A and B are shown apart, each in its own frame.
Chain A
Amino acid sequence: MFVNEKEKILEFIDTIIDKHGIERTSLLPILGEIQEKFKCVPEFAQQRVAKIMDIHPVEVYSVVSFYSFLNVEKKGKYILRVCRSVSCDLAGKEKVVNILERELGLKIGETSADKKYTLEYTNCMGLCDEAPSLAINDQVYTKLTTEKLYQILSEIKENK
């Protein structure tokens, strides 16, 4: 990670601490905000949070490693999550995955070298009546067809 990125993250932590406070109940909201902005919660960030909240860094790591939406390694600007639960599976999740893997040049679980895209599976997103479904960051897309997927992809590719 570049030095200035590291500084940016540490600075960011300092700016959001006041809003959340240093009670333990604020830990997840703080980590969530770091994750959302930088697509990761790296070790030095965990240490800074631990120091401010006066808890052991291992406590913070234990939380980061538990939740699937928090991660140490940097993920892409666009995190594409394909639902793999049964209803989406019945509706053709495999085809969705094939198209995304081909178009993005990534396998499930991988992040592109330019840190723009991450492709992964997720469990049921509660969109089973509109399967198959996909989430890109917080935005959800349902009843996916080949055409719809191409359109979604061209939209995010244009968005630099």
Chain B
Amino acid sequence: MTEKIRKRDGLIIFSEYEKFSGLKKALSLSQDDILFELKSSNLKGRGGAGFPISTKWMLTAAAQSSEKYVVCNADEGEPGTFKDRVLLKEMPYLIFEGMIIAGYTIGAKKGIVYLRGEYNYLVNPLNEFLDEMKNENLLGENILGKDFSFEIEIFSGHGAYVCGEETALLESLEGQRGEARNRPPFPVNRGYKGFPTTVNNVESLSTVPHIIMKGGSWYSQFGTEKSKGTKLISVSGDCEKPGVYEIEWGTSIYDLLELVKAENTKAVQVGGASGVCVNKSQFDRTIAYEDLSTGGSIMIFNESRNMLAILKNFMEFFVEESCGQCTPCRIGNQKLLAFVEKIIQNEQTFSELNKIKELAETMKIASKCGLGQSSPNPFLSILENFKEEIFDSNSRGKYEHV
């Protein structure tokens, strides 16, 4: 095996781990035992939506079908997120072990990694790694002598943010435009090619072998009441030590800023472009599903930054990446961006502001998928938390520059 492991410290994913030990142990357990451990671990989906993994697997396992699939969502496109890149590059065995364990548990014979096109340089190393696993009988027919066969394929995306949404991802895998599907039916019943499919994030799958090794109750001792375990976060922006960190759920923004050596921080965007932006008075809030939820992106802005320019960048992103199939998202994001541009020109009125906020709220409930449901987040939170700066053109400085 050829991957280079940079030494990282962490409680779970970045802790000491003997390669393939989780997989080997899992294959000696019954499917029910695995589901039990996952349930007691309370592991939730790490892509951001936070759906319990044990429930997803249980539903897929319970579905009656001749074929089932395991799909790994490696379409990490949320601005400011790069934790999956680090896992794919440095610890691919954890991901593949998680997928094989998933296949064993739900009764699937095939796994597909949907790798975003921007990570195409990882295709060859990942395929080489898979070949080595095949040589060691960790993949293929009768894995480790068991009556269980599984194969993994890498599928390249072609540059579409919306394909990170699980049903859009499935459409893309099937050779269609990446447009989200109506739900129900959910992928656990009708996913890839209409067969029951579990779609899991890279980080969720990478956590599974650790839970198998040390047990669900061990895992659930970390974190908070409602958010168990740890989270990988990708920190970027104005700080001395950007990078990927494994933190316990419940860590405050203050502690995080100290960890990454950020100074003169004015704002922190939690959850990427589709997340919320908090100001200084909220730095005691914590990273947790019940408080500031994130798929992993933390962007730090210092006092010199122009919040309006940052907001404009986010909204331009959504206008471009909206797939266009539903009106609230397609038109809504354009309207939000147009309003940001109006503020830049100092042409906004307050009655308009109220209307546009209403529109943003409507987008949250009326959009078909997560993209349009969450794209108003930065708009609403930046306008609310940085009003003085945003509505006073003198204090903003030049808008062209972030």
- Per the CB 8 Å criterion, the residue count for chain A at the interface is 38
User: Which of B37-45, B236-244, B278-286, B335-343 faces chain A?
Assistant: B236-244
Is A112 located at the chain interface by the 8 A CB criterion?
no
Checking B76, B82, B155, B158 against A67 with a beta-carbon cut-off of 8 angstroms, the contacting residue is: B158
Binary flags per residue of B188-215, CB closer than 8 Å to A gives 1, else 0: 0000010000000000000000000000
User: Which of A5-13, A96-104, A121-129, A144-152 faces chain B?
Assistant: A121-129
Q: Are A139 and B313 in contact (CB under 8 A)?
A: no
Q: Are B156 and A89 in contact (CB under 8 A)?
A: no
**CB-CB < 8 A to B314: which residues of A?**
86
If A69-B117, A69-B159 touch, whether A90 touches B238 (CB-CB below 8 Å) is yes
- Minimal Cβ-Cβ distance residue in B for A23: B175
Q: Are B158 and A129 in contact (CB under 8 A)?
A: no
Contacts between the two chains (Cβ within 8 Å), count: 120
Is A159 located at the chain interface by the 8 A CB criterion?
no
Q: Are A86 and B159 in contact (CB under 8 A)?
A: no
* Docked complex: A99-132 residues within 8 A CB-CB of B: 122-131
User: Which of B56-64, B95-103, B118-126, B348-356 faces chain A?
Assistant: B118-126
* Docked complex: A53-73 residues within 8 A CB-CB of B: 62-63, 66-70
Binary flags per residue of A39-60, CB closer than 8 Å to B gives 1, else 0: 0000000000000000000000
Is A25 located at the chain interface by the 8 A CB criterion?
yes
Interface residues on B, range: 35 or more
Q: Are B160 and A66 in contact (CB under 8 A)?
A: yes
**CB-CB < 8 A to B82: which residues of A?**
126-129
A142 to chain B, nearest CB (A): 11
Is A27 located at the chain interface by the 8 A CB criterion?
yes
Given the complex of chains A and B, what is the CA–CA distance between A14 and B236 in angstroms?
Answer: 46
Checking B85, B305, B317, B402 against A126 with a beta-carbon cut-off of 8 angstroms, the contacting residue is: B85
Is B144 located at the chain interface by the 8 A CB criterion?
no
Most central of A70, A89, A129, A135 by chain B CB within 10 Å: A129
Binary flags per residue of A1-36, CB closer than 8 Å to B gives 1, else 0: 000000000000000000000011111110110010
Q: Are B158 and A28 in contact (CB under 8 A)?
A: yes
What are 24 A-B contacts defined by CB distance under 8 Å?
A24-B175, A28-B156, A28-B158, A29-B156, A32-B156, A66-B323, A85-B273, A86-B80, A86-B237, A86-B269, A86-B299, A86-B314, A87-B79, A87-B80, A94-B401, A123-B77, A126-B77, A126-B81, A127-B85, A128-B81, A128-B237, A128-B242, A129-B82, A129-B234
Interface residues of A (CB under 8 A from B): 23-29, 31-32, 35, 62-63, 66-70, 84-87, 89-90, 94, 122-131, 135, 138-140
